[in-house]
Amino acid sequence: MSTLFLATFLFIFSASNPLTTADIHINKCRSYCGNITIDYPFAIQQGCGHPGFRDLLFCVNDFLMFHISSGSYRVLEIDYAYQSLTLHDAHMSTCDNMVLGGKGNGFAVEQWRAPYFNPTADNVFMLIGCSAKSPLFQGFPGQHLPCRNVSGMGCEDYYQCPSWRLVGRKRTAPMYGSGPPECCAVAFESIKMINLTKLECEGYASAYSLAPLKIDGPSEWSYGIRVKYSVQGGDQFCRACEATGGTCGFGTDGVRQLCMCGSVNSTSNCDSVGSSSSRISWPLSQISAGFFVLLSIWMTINHG
């Protein structure tokens, strides 16, 4: 008799397992690229994540690539706690290397995507070799130039870098007597779009500081583009979806959010989908499964 009870118990336990794993919440949209975790609102699978982040990330040979209208960048890090990501542009200048010829991406996103991404306020863009006719210098020398230090980083310090010697450029003191400076540092906020073609610049460097770290000099700066992301409309939809065991995604229209609940998609959360997959009915299905097991074992014993 005890064997029968044990068998019954084991059967009920294993029969209820698929349901409990659904409850534990296996997120089929979460993934990795190299050592970077890709999670909501980002995704690399079609239909996963938030619609504002669609067609954005691609995993190529374990390199996570971020693709926007100004070009492709390698993602160095995604910081989910601070909602920011760090990008690297292969044609960006650093303290050791100067890339001229207008090849750099700069930073510009599609208009519909603009509310989702903004380089952080402590990220400095140092525009190099911009033409005197550049929109940056409109009104020069009468009006103030937009060039300034950002978060303690600016061109005065950047001129000390070996990269300037490498290209044989003379460091230009910020004396606006004869012409615009060779380098102009700006925050993204002040010009909204870093487009080297439009700004008539030959190159750029981008650096960020992770406050409150005090940084010694330009060779110690972190070179890259630090971008803040924000989920427009908030993440209430996804939280409610995940709290009911679902995975957040969106429909083929690329606009409407969906909650993927196993084999069914819901427009709200998994508690609202058919009663067969609702959590309230799970204990009931387990009880009835157990009942039928007992019944069939009883019948086998009695008729076998």
Ligand X SMILES: *[C@@H]1O[C@H](CO)[C@@H](O)[C@H](O)[C@H]1NC(C)=O
**How far, in Å, CA of 148 to CA of 43, rounded?**
36
| 73, 86 contact by CB (below 8 A) | no
CA angle 278, 280, 281 (to 5 degrees): 75
Instruction: Please return the burial class of 173, using the count of CB atoms within 10 Å of its CB with bins 0-12, 13-18 and 19+.
Output: exposed
Exactly one of 2, 3, 24, 35 binds ligand X (CB under 6 A); which one?
35
Among candidate residues 202, 205, 204, the one with its CA nearest the CA of residue 132? 202
**How far, in Å, CA of 110 to CA of 48, rounded?**
20
In the shown chain, the binding pattern of residues 108 to 147 toward ligand X, with x for contact by CB under 6 A and - for none, equals x---------------------------------------
Exactly one of 47, 102, 135, 290 binds ligand X (CB under 6 A); which one?
47
Contact between 281 and ligand X (CB under 6 A)? no
Query: In Å, what is the CA distance from 65 to each residue of 39, 110, 209, 226?
Result: 15, 17, 22, 15
Minimal distance, residue 263 CB to ligand X, in Å: 6
Provide the token pair at 43. Answer: 């995704």
Minimal distance, residue 286 CB to ligand X, in Å: 25
Among candidate residues 39, 38, 55, 59, the one with its CA nearest the CA of residue 47? 55
**In the complex, residue closest to ligand X by CB:** 47
Residue 148 vs 228, nearer CB to ligand X: 148
Query: In Å, what is the CA distance from 99 to each residue of 16, 183, 202?
Result: 61, 13, 8
Contact between 251 and ligand X (CB under 6 A)? yes
Exactly one of 258, 259, 261, 293 binds ligand X (CB under 6 A); which one?
258
Residue 39 vs 156, nearer CB to ligand X: 156
Number of residues that bind ligand X (CB under 6 A): 20
Which of the residues 199 through 238 are near ligand X (CB under 6 A)? none
Contact between 197 and ligand X (CB under 6 A)? yes
In the shown chain, the binding pattern of residues 56 to 75 toward ligand X, with x for contact by CB under 6 A and - for none, equals -------------xx-----
Residues found near ligand X in the complex (CB under 6 A): 35, 47, 69-70, 77, 108, 148-149, 154, 156-157, 195, 197-198, 249, 251, 258, 260, 263, 265
